[in-house]
Amino acid sequence: MNNLGMKFDFNNMMSPYVADGVTEEEISGLLPEIEKAFKAMAEKRAGGKMDWRDLPYNQDNVVDDIINYAESVKNDFEAFVVLGIGGSALGPLAVQQAINHPYYNELPREKRGGYPKFYVADNVDPEKLACLFEAVDPTKCLFNCVSKSGSTSETMSQFMIIKELLSEKLPKDEAAKHIVCTTDKEKGNLIKIAKEEGYKTFIIPSGVGGRFSELTPVGLLPAAMCGIDIKKMLQGAAEMDKLCSESDIYKNPAAMYAVLSYVAMKKGKNIAVMMPYADSLKLISDWFAQLWAESLGKRYDNDGKEIFVGQTPVKALGVTDQHSQVQLYTEGPFDKMIVILGVEKFKREMDIPAIYGDIPSLGFLGGVSQSKLIQTEQMATEYALLKSGKMNLTITLPEVNEFTIGGLLYMFEVATGFAGELLNINAFDQPGVEEGKNATYAMFGRPGYEEKKKELDLRPEKNEKFII
């Protein structure tokens, strides 16, 4: 057992447990590629190309600044609102859901430890932002604008709306206290604006991309503003880093996760289902979906060869989706690997009353705890998948807290980087995303995108026959 208390059970990924499972011989046959991946990961880390690997160790001053700032302003605002998209939104939401009360915003302030309510404005649907201001008074909010480049259209459009709104309702010096920026140290629009306007600023390390940024101020500031112990999160990540440094992949959960996923993809398992059996872990699936999809979904490999590789992440929740998706997973096509997230000890417990003993279909539940019920249903799903010959693995946390969540997030990040090495792709760019961004800029007439606008103007006209 490792110090995190985390269990990584991949029996049901292996042959002969499941049809066409991974064999130990297949893993042995991949050892040259695995060793090459280990070497590449080490070289990139040493060369400053994986700065997210060192986040558990090099942020003492940053963490102290975040904690001191959160404590100094928490009583000044009714709500803390993150303006961000992608990892800037998914990570903070996942950690908040995991650590804090599921009805955090509905609790009286004293039961929130004096911390403000928490909201994330991540989309540009006009209804959502307008409706937020019907729920909270913007002059009583602290807005955290998160954009490394300062040119993220979605985030900066929200920032511009809020900046104007605050300017109309508050004196300039007072309005500036309602905005805190998380951005690059020197590049981009947002750092320039922050300096000009006098906004409090936290820095995103230059070598850390958005989907790997949860353990930077991107995720640490929102967590601290909700009373979450960010030092313990980083301690958990550091503990996982020790495991991820093991050269024996049978002792390294991140490397093994990557290897199993790689072999599964080779066997046609191009869908990765993540199914937590705990509501607290529900949004970990959302965060993981971006990490896995954006990192591994690539058209070209590092040699310029067209490969169209990637594994589609799908979100599910146990036991809720036993009543919807599990039918497909057990009896549908053999194109998936299912990742189950379990918890040994829940933060709360509820016992089912020993009533209706005369009704066999209900009486058996009497005296059973709800944690026992959900854990039993989890094991039943594992068995159903095993019986159907469907690849699945289970990751179990001893309990959900800052330490274990920090470790879990870090494990998935390392696994993603390792899988990228095995696939011979760049796991840290997103050219497909950039194409959509550039097209948006061109259609709005942003300077510098004239050629893209010409390209868009040449796209084929739509056929009215195919519009009903």
Q: How is the chain split among helix, strand and coil, in percent rounded to 5? A: 55, 15, 30
- Round to whole Å and give the CA distance between 232 and 220: 11
> Which residue in 231, 437, 452, 453 is the catalytic one?
437
- What is the number of other CB atoms lying within 10 angstroms of the CB of residue 419? 25
> Which residue in 154, 214, 239, 294 is the catalytic one?
294
Query: What distances in angstroms separate CA 418 from CA 57, 214, 406, one per listed residue?
Result: 21, 18, 18
- Contacts with 370 (C-beta within 8 Å, 6 or more apart), sequence order: 349, 350, 351, 352
Alpha helices in 364-457 (DSSP H): 370-387, 402-423, 431-443, 450-457
Q: Is 178 a catalytic residue?
A: no
> Which residue in 168, 305, 323, 465 is the catalytic one?
323
Q: Is 323 a catalytic residue?
A: yes
Q: Which of 399, 402, 382 is nearest to 391 (CA)?
A: 382
Q: Is 437 a catalytic residue?
A: yes
- Round to whole Å and give the CA distance between 264 and 310: 11
- What is the number of other CB atoms lying within 10 angstroms of the CB of residue 126? 9
DSSP state of 28: H
Contact, 453 vs 442, CB < 8 A?
A: yes
* Catalytic residue positions, numbered: 294, 323, 437
